[in-house]
Structure formats: structure tokens, C-alpha cells
């Protein structure tokens, strides 16, 4: 949910809840509304996994711990961060019994090697991710993300402009989680868009 107001996020979450397993709070939403957004979404949807896309770049244990205290079930730490930042976030995950995901956004050169390194630090999975700015460049496709997921051979999610046309290939590549943002929140009918994505992913 890359909306920036909590009320928008609560509305969106309610619209799509029947079709999603995880509610992910995008980084802009957390920056705009703070950790209270995590608490509010979890309170409204206690049956869903709440994923706080912190994209932590430093102080991994501290930041991940703050999000877990607020109610997050999963948080992201930057895969490009210092090894000890990733390890710190994983330590917080172990303390709270929750999951840490290494977001591989910005890791482009030799991404598979870094995926294999961070996987050894105990993250639950890696997110192979092309951010909104990378997606906006001409010629962008999701294929390079899928190829690296298959090459790495470790649990992974894909984020990078997944659509109803591409979500089947994400599943076929073996992804554990498909993260869909704009395909849902930019749709005229987010509930119908989420339902269509789910039907193509199952």
C-alpha cells in the first residue's frame, strides 16, 4: 500500500482483504504516518500478516524491533546494507518470533551473489525488487527479477510492478510471495483487481 494517509490505507486494506494473505505497508506510508500505521492496520486485520516495508539501511535490530513492537509480522531490511545491519534485524526477528525479509532493491550487479550472502544471515526470504523509479525507465520488464530468483535457489518474493498479466510467471518462477502495489491501488476497483491477481496466482 503505497498510499500516504492512514485512512486511505485502512480503506484499501478493507477493500482487498478477501483476496490477500499479507497487507504490506509501503515505505512512503510508514514515513508519512509513522509506526502507528502498523498498529492500526494490524488492529483492523488481526487475521492478516502485516508487512512493514521499512527498508532499513542502518540500526537493523533497533528499527526492526520498533516495527515488531508496533505489531508487524514481517519487516524489510536493505539487502545492500552492512552485513551487521541485516544480522541485527534478524536478531530482532528471533526475539519477537517474527520474520525479516532482505529487500534487494538497488542491488543490481551480481545480485545473485548478494542474495546468497544475506540468506545465510537468517532472513526468512529475500525480496527481489525493482523499485518504482527503476520501473519507470523505458524498457523495464520483470524478467530479470524472475531469472535471478530461479538462479539463487533460495526462498524469494518478487516486487516490481506485478500485473495480472505477469503474476502467473512470478508463481511459475517459484516465488513464495508476489507483492502487488500499483496494480491494486491504482485500479478503479481495487477489490476486483486484487481478486483477479489472486485468481491468476493460485
Q: What is the dihedral of CA 31, 182, 184, 108, to 10 degrees?
A: -90
Q: Which of 159, 170, 177, 178 binds ligand LJD2ZHX5 (CB under 6 A)?
A: 159
Residue 28-47 contact track with ligand LJD2ZHX5, rule CB under 6 A, x = bound: x-------------------
Which segments of 17-165 does DSSP mark as H helices, in order? 27-33, 36-44, 60-70, 83-96, 111-119, 132-135, 143-152
Q: Report d(CA 48, CA 153) in Å as an integer.
A: 27
Q: Which of 132, 144, 164, 192 binds ligand LJD2ZHX5 (CB under 6 A)?
A: 132
Of 9-17, 21-29, 80-88, 142-150, the segment contacting ligand LJD2ZHX5 by CB under 6 A is 21-29
CB atoms inside a 10 Å sphere around CB 131: 15
CB of 1 to ligand LJD2ZHX5, least distance (A): 8
Exposed, middle or buried: residue 22 (CB in 10 Å: 0-12, 13-18, 19+)? middle
Q: Which of residues 167-186 bind ligand LJD2ZHX5 (CB under 6 A)?
A: 179-183
Binding site for ligand LJD2ZHX5 (CB under 6 A): 2, 26-28, 53, 129, 131-132, 135, 159-162, 179-183
Amino acid at each position: 500500500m503505497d498510499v500516504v494517509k492512514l485512512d486511505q490505507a485502512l480503506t484499501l486494506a478493507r477493500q482487498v482483504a478477501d483476496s490477500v494473505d499479507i497487507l504490506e505497508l509501503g515505505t512512503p506510508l510508514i514515513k508519512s504516518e509513522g509506526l502507528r500505521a502498523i498498529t492500526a492496520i494490524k488492529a483492523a486485520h488481526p487475521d492478516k500478516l502485516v508487512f512493514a516495508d521499512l527498508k532499513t539501511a542502518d540500526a537493523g535490530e533497533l528499527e526492526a524491533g520498533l516495527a515488531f513492537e508496533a505489531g508487524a509480522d514481517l519487516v524489510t531490511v536493505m539487502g545492500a546494507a552492512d552485513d551487521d545491519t541485516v544480522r541485527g534485524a534478524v536478531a530482532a526477528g528471533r526475539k519477537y518470533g517474527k520474520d525479516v525479509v532482505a529487500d534487494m532493491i538497488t542491488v543490481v550487479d551480481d545480485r545473485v551473489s548478494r542474495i546468497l550472502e544475506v540468506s545465510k544471515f537468517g532472513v526468512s526470504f529475500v525480496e527481489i525488487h525493482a523499485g518504482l523509479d527503476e520501473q519507470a525507465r523505458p524498457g523495464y520488464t520483470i524478467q530479470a527479477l524472475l531469472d535471478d530468483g530461479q538462479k539463487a535457489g533460495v526462498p524469494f518474493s518478487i516486487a516490481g510492478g506485478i500485473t495480472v498479466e505477469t503474476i502467473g510467471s512470478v508463481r511459475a518462477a517459484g516465488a513464495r510471495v508476489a507483492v502487488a502495489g500499483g496494480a491494486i491501488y491504482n485500479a478503479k476497483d481495487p477489490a476486483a483487481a486484487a481478486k483477479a491477481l489472486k485468481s491468476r496466482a493460485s
